[in-house]
Amino acid sequence: MKKPLTKKELVTMLLRDKELVGRDEEELLDLLVDQPISIDVDKLEDENMKFGDKVADKLSEVAGSWAFIIIFVSFLIFWIVLNGVILKSHALDEYPFILLNLVLSCIAAIQAPIIMMSQNRQAKKDSMRNQNDYRIDLKSELILEELHDKMDNILKNQKEILKYINDKK
């Protein structure tokens, strides 16, 4: 007689798309139905965030806002007007504004990798969400299949009862 599989073995088989047979399916269905399988991806990710991750997310949030764009464009206009018009003869950064270009290049060189780090974390979080959705969909599919089988069984029993009643008449 075959030894029943453990819950861990059943789930491993399920996630590796191996075929399950009769009793294994029933045990897996019971496992999935009786126990919650969904996880809060946001909560899990927040618990595992490091300081650098938090800084990258905050910087991406600020740098991707309209407020940042408006303030930064205002600063650029102020810099150009100050050095090109107001302080024309004693400008800190004369036209073609090489110092401004250097500052902008440094900001872009630092900002781009930090934003990419935040995007990579978001992609990882999305992947975790997709895996979680897959497990929930699988559980729903198995529950619906079990309900379908139960309905078939009820209909079969109902037909037998009706046949029995009609035979008695």
Per-domain boundaries in the chain: 1-35, 36-168
pLDDT tens for 110-168 read 999 999 999 999 999 899 888 888 878 877 887 788 889 899 999 999 999 999 999 88
Q: What is the pLDDT of residue 83?
A: 92
User: Rounded CA gap, 6 and 24, in Å?
Assistant: 9
Which of 118, 127, 114 is CA-nearest to residue 49? Answer: 118
Least confident of 11-15, 41-45, 46-50, 138-142: 11-15
User: Rounded CA gap, 46 and 53, in Å?
Assistant: 10
- Which pLDDT band, with edges at 50, 70 and 90, does 108 fall under? very high
Label residue 97 left, alpha or beta by phi (over 0 means left) and psi (-120 to 50 means alpha): left
User: Rounded CA gap, 39 and 129, in Å?
Assistant: 9
Average pLDDT over residues 47-65: 87
Which of 94, 98, 76 is CA-nearest to residue 85? Answer: 94
Q: What is the pLDDT of residue 23?
A: 56
pTM of the shown model: 0.57
Cβ 31 vs Cβ 11: under 8 Å: yes
Cβ 56 vs Cβ 115: under 8 Å: yes
Least confident of 10-14, 61-65, 96-100, 102-106: 10-14
Give the CA diameter of the chain.
115
Cβ 115 vs Cβ 55: under 8 Å: no
Residue 40 three-state SS: coil
User: Rounded CA gap, 14 and 138, in Å?
Assistant: 10
